[in-house]
Amino acid sequence: MTTAVRAVPGVTGDAIVGVVPAEVVRPTEPDEVPELLRAAQRDGRTVLAAGGRTKLGWAPPPSSADLLVDTTGLGRVVEHTAGDLVVVAEAGVRLSTLQEHLGGAGQWLALDPPEPEATLGGIVSANASGPRRLRYGTVRDLLIGVTVVLADGTVAHAGGKVVKNVAGYDLGKLYTGAHGTLGVIVSTTWRLHPVPATKRVVVVDLADPLAAGPLAIAIARSTLTPTAVEVNATTGGPATLTVLFEAIPDSVAAQADAAVALLGSGRQQEQLPEHFGDRPGGPDDLVLRLSFAPASLSQVLAALPDGVAVTASACTGVAYAALPAAHAAALPAVRAALASHDGTAVVLSAPPELHEGLDHWGPLGDAVELMRKVKDRFDPERRLAPGRFVGGI
């Protein structure tokens, strides 16, 4: 390699779904990344990017991994304009570090995936959010600018440092959830929110998870404005419904009282349940991300085998389910059941013995041809994270 950034051999801890990269580089300046990718292009090498390594197991394994670009060296908060509620931060900044920095101004980036050590670049690449997506939206809603290095080393900028910037193409949305297949993110710009003054939590214990569906519909149709409505359940077993309100004290107190009345029961507390927002599952599970019409929550839960741990953002139609490896054969049936509710089931992670021939994405529809054209435009040699995205892209 001709770049000054030193490459070291990849080790097991660098593996992407079991594939160990041949070399790893850790740039400490954004300007070093274009040269790394230009050198990789000259050598015909494949390139992947990683930050906090909290989601390297998401998506299928790469078909090739010559060079891993470790972005954790790009760890600076470049600019925080508190008056405009905007922050510019490099891709390797960890979410926990950014929140600590912003907290001094009474602000925060309203994303709450359950991996606080995730980096901003990884959060964008994996499109990771948490329970508070109900109130604040997802990565696509809060990301207002991005700087990306393309496969040939070209640096592309999109968006800007104002919330209502409409100049140029919205590349931020294109790179969100692309798993590094279109470029290496080096910098991000975000819309911020004030830290809520206080919170109040309503928790309802349910003997049957299917009862959560009608309750979530009642909340969605009411005048209540919760920050999150979460269901934690084991199919065929008990469940809890957690409703979070965040605002000024008088507002959260009144809304919590109204929620208990609407739901017919519930206990109020100041603190969130211990595992609020955690994704279920472990190394022996097929961990699924389910998307569906929010009103179909009960039907979606009913489509899963008994004994499956589920966390659902009930009013947004997003859930995570841990399907034990012994029930992996049920995946096609689950997908078929979800299809009638505008639903999909994407495999986030799986035990190594299931990787061979596993369909991570499910039915692709007509969009895959457009995705291939986009890939060909941004990475015609298919060297960036090859095989990691839909249709083997």
Cβ contacts of 50 within 8 Å, gap of 6 or more: 14, 16, 56, 68, 69, 70, 71, 122
> Alpha carbon of 383 to those of 46, 122, 124, 131: distances in Å?
4, 19, 20, 34
pLDDT surpassing 90 at residue 355: no
What residues are paired with 346 via a beta bridge? 289
Instruction: Please give the average per-residue pLDDT across 174-183, as a whole number.
Output: 95
Cα-based torsion angle of the residue sequence 98, 101, 103, 105 in order, rounded to the nearest 10 degrees: -130
CB burial of residue 217 (10 Å; 0-12, 13-18, 19+): middle
The amino acid at residue 17 is: V
How many whole angstroms from its chain centre is CA 102? 21
Mean pLDDT along residues 130-145: 96
Q: Which of 150, 147, 146 is nearest to 183 (CA)?
A: 150
State the average pLDDT over residues 269-289.
94
% of the chain beyond a pLDDT of 90: 84
When pLDDT is cut at 50, 70 and 90, the band that residue 367 belongs to is confident
Q: Residue 330: CA atoms inside 13 Å, Cβ hemisphere, count?
A: 20
pLDDT class of 125 with cuts at 50, 70, 90: very high
Which pair of structure tokens corresponds to residue 35? 């040269």
* Res 4: pLDDT: 76
Instruction: Give pLDDT, residue 2.
Output: 43
Domain assignments of the chain as residue spans, ordered by start: 1-195+363-393, 197-360
Q: Going by DSSP bridges, is the β-strand pair 67-70/47-50 parallel, antiparallel, or unpaired?
A: parallel
| Residue 97 pLDDT level (bands cut at 50, 70, 90) | very high
**CB burial readout 169-185, b (16+ within 10 A) else e:** ebbbbbbbbbbbbbbbb
Q: Taking residues 351-361, what's their average pLDDT?
A: 88
Q: Is 106 exposed, middle or buried (0-12, 13-18, 19+ CB in 10 A)?
A: exposed
Reported as a single tens digit per residue, the pLDDT across 307-335 is 999 999 999 999 999 999 988 999 999 99
Taking the C-alpha atoms of residue 51 and residue 92, their distance in angstroms, rounded to an integer, is 6
> At residue 76, what is the residue type?
R
Cα 34–chain centre separation? 26
What pLDDT sits at residue 317? Answer: 95
In this prediction, residue 229 has a pLDDT band, given cuts at 50, 70 and 90, of very high
Grouping H, G, I as helix, E, B as strand and the rest as coil, residue 310 is strand
Q: Are strands 23-25 and 67-70 parallel, antiparallel or unpaired?
A: parallel
Distance CA 390, CA 378 (A): 16
Summarize the confidence of residues 166-173 as an average pLDDT.
67
pLDDT at site 271 = 95
Tokens for 185, please give them: 């993110």
In the predicted model, is pLDDT for residue 1 greater than 60? no
Pick from 75-89, 215-229, 326-340: least confident: 326-340
- Give me the CATH topology for the region 197-360: Vanillyl-alcohol Oxidase; Chain A, domain 3 (3.40.462)
Is residue 270 scored above 70 in pLDDT? yes
In the DSSP assignment, the letter for residue 277 is: T
Mean pLDDT of the chain: 93
Comparing C-alpha atoms, which of 140, 115, 112, 114 is closest to residue 51?
A: 115
Q: How much of the chain exceeds pLDDT 70, in percent?
A: 97
Band (31; pLDDT cuts 50, 70, 90)? very high
Query: What average pLDDT does range 331-344 have in this prediction?
Result: 93
CA-CA distances (angstroms) from residue 179 to 97, 386, 388? Answer: 22, 10, 7
Q: What is the Cβ-side half-sphere exposure of residue 22, based on CA atoms within 13 angstroms?
A: 10
Angle between helices 212-221 and 249-263 (to 10 degrees): 130
Cα dist. 334→34, 40, 54, 234 in Å?
43, 41, 27, 16
Q: Which CATH code for domain 1-195+363-393? A: 3.30.465.10
DSSP string, 90-129: ETT-BHHHHHHHHHTTTEE-----S-TT-BHHHHHHHT--
